[in-house]
Amino acid sequence: MRHKSWMLLEAAEAWCAMRLDAAPPDVQPTGVRVQTPPADQAAQLAAWLIANAYAGEDVLLAIGSQHCLVAEIPLEAGRRRPSRSEMAYALEEHLPLAAEDCVAEFVVRPATEHAFGVAVPKTYLAALVEGLEDNGVRVASVVPVGLLRCQQLVSEQGRADGTVIVANRDSLDVFVLQEGFPRQWQIVPHRPRELTRHLQWLRLQQGEPVRVLAVGIDDAETAAALSEQADVTRVAAEAGDESSDLVGCGHLMAQGEPAPWLDFRRTALPPRDRFRTVRPALQFAVAAAAVFLVAMSASFLFRASRFERLARDYEDQQRDVFRQALPNQPVPAGIRSRLESEHHKLAGVAGEQAAAPDYLDALSSLFDILCSLPQAVRFRLLEVQIEDDGRLSLEGEAPNHGDAGILATSLRQGGLDVEQPFTRQLRQDGVSVNIKARAVGSEIGTSAASPPEGKS
Amino acid sequence: MSSDERRRAFLAVGLLVTLCGLAAWSYVRLQVSYQRARAAGESLAVCEQLAKRISQLRTLPSQASLDARSAAELTGLMDNAANELRLPPRSVQNIDPQPVRRLEKSPYKVQATQVALQDVTLRQLVSVLMHVTQGDSELKVTELRLSAPRTEDPNDGVETWNAEATLTQLIFSPTSPDARR
* The one-letter amino acid at A67: H
What are the strands, taking DSSP E only, across A101-246? 102-108, 114-121, 138-144, 162-167, 171-178, 181-189, 212-215
Instruction: Reply yes or no: is the peptide bond before residue B154 cis, omega within 30 of 0.
Output: no
Helix (H, G, I), strand (E, B) or coil at A288: helix
What are the strands, taking DSSP E only, across chain B? 92-97, 101-102, 108-120, 139-147, 161-172
Taking CA–CA distances from B140, the nearest residue in chain A reads: A361
Helix (H) or strand (E) holding A386: strand A380-386
Query: What pLDDT does residue A251 have?
Result: 66
Residue A214 near residue A162, CB atoms below 8 Å = no
Helix (H) or strand (E) holding B150: none
A residues 312-351 lying closer than 8 A (beta carbon) to B:
314-315, 317-318, 321-322, 324-326, 335-336, 339-351
Nearest to A115 by CA among A71, A175, A56: A71
Helix (H, G, I), strand (E, B) or coil at A323: helix
Separation in Å, CA A173 to CA A18, A176, A450, B26, B45: 22, 10, 141, 68, 94
Chain B nearest C-alpha distance from A379 (Å): 14
Instruction: Reply yes or no: is the peptide bond before residue A74 cis, omega within 30 of 0.
Output: no
Query: What pLDDT does residue A356 have?
Result: 73
Using CB atoms, pick whichever of B26, B107, B159 lies closest to residue A301.
B26
Query: What pLDDT does residue B80 have?
Result: 86
Residue A386 near residue A392, CB atoms below 8 Å = yes
Taking CA–CA distances from B22, the nearest residue in chain A reads: A297
The ipTM estimated for the assembled molecules is 0.77
Using CB atoms, pick whichever of B26, B34, B172 lies closest to residue A349.
B172
Alpha helices in B60-177 (DSSP H): 71-84, 122-134
Nearest to B87 by CA among B134, B111, B123, B61: B123
Contacts of A301 in chain B (CB under 8 A): 26, 29-30
What is the spatial distance between Cα A205 and Cα A210, in angstroms, rounded to a whole number? 10
CB-based contacts of B30: which residues, under 8 Å, 6+ apart? Answer: A300, A301, A303, A304, A307
Contact pairs from chain A to chain B, CB under 8 Å: 234
What is the spatial distance between Cα A182 and Cα A165, in angstroms, rounded to a whole number? 12
Per-residue pLDDT of chain B (181 residues; tens, 9 = 90+): 566 777 888 899 999 999 999 999 999 999 999 999 999 999 999 999 999 999 999 888 888 888 877 778 888 888 888 888 888 878 888 888 888 888 887 888 888 999 999 888 888 899 988 888 876 667 889 999 998 765 555 556 678 889 999 998 888 888 765 544 4
DSSP state, residue B71: H
Helix (H) or strand (E) holding B25: helix B3-59
Taking CA–CA distances from B131, the nearest residue in chain A reads: A363
Probe site for chain A from B5, B47, B123, B137 (most A CB atoms < 10 A):
B47
Residue by residue, what is the 3-state secondary structure of A61-129? EEECHHHCEEEEEECCCCCCCCCHHHHHHHHHCCCCCCHHHEEEEEEECCCCCEEEEEEEEHHHHHHHH
What is the spatial distance between Cα A60 and Cα A90, in angstroms, rounded to a whole number? 28
Q: Would an 8 Å CB–CB cutoff place A365 in contact with chain B?
A: yes
What is the spatial distance between Cα A7 and Cα A19, in angstroms, rounded to a whole number? 6
Burial grade of B153 (CB within 10 A; 0-12, 13-18, 19 or more): exposed
Record: contact A283-B12, CB cut-off 8 A: yes
Helix (H, G, I), strand (E, B) or coil at A164: strand
Query: What pLDDT does residue B150 have?
Result: 53
Taking CA–CA distances from B37, the nearest residue in chain A reads: A311
Query: What pLDDT does residue B180 have?
Result: 45
Residue by residue, what is the 3-state secondary structure of A335-383? HHHHHHHHHHHHHHHCCCCCCCCCCCCHHHHHHHHHHHCCCCCCCEEEE
What is the spatial distance between Cα B177 and Cα B181, in angstroms, rounded to a whole number? 8
Per-residue pLDDT of chain A (456 residues; tens, 9 = 90+): 455 688 898 888 899 998 887 766 678 889 999 899 999 999 999 999 999 888 888 898 999 988 999 998 888 776 777 888 888 888 888 889 888 899 999 988 776 778 899 999 999 999 999 999 888 888 888 999 888 888 888 877 777 788 888 888 788 899 988 888 888 899 998 888 888 888 888 888 887 777 788 877 777 888 888 877 755 655 444 444 555 566 666 666 666 667 788 888 887 787 776 677 777 888 899 999 999 999 999 999 999 999 999 999 999 999 999 999 998 889 998 899 999 999 988 888 887 776 777 778 888 888 888 888 888 888 888 899 998 888 899 999 888 888 888 888 998 888 888 888 898 888 888 899 999 998 875 443 333 333 333 333
| Beta-strand relationship, A391-398 and A380-386 | antiparallel
* B47 alpha carbon, distance to own chain's centre: 20
Chain A nearest C-alpha distance from B72 (Å): 23
Query: What pLDDT does residue A354 have?
Result: 66
- Give per-residue pLDDT as tens, B129-161: 888 887 666 788 999 999 876 555 555 667 888
| Beta-strand relationship, A14-19 and A4-10 | antiparallel
Helix (H, G, I), strand (E, B) or coil at A2: coil
Record: contact B66-A359, CB cut-off 8 A: no
What is the spatial distance between Cα A308 and Cα A119, in angstroms, rounded to a whole number? 70
Nearest to A52 by CA among A15, A3, A17, A20: A17
Contacts of B147 in chain A (CB under 8 A): 382-385
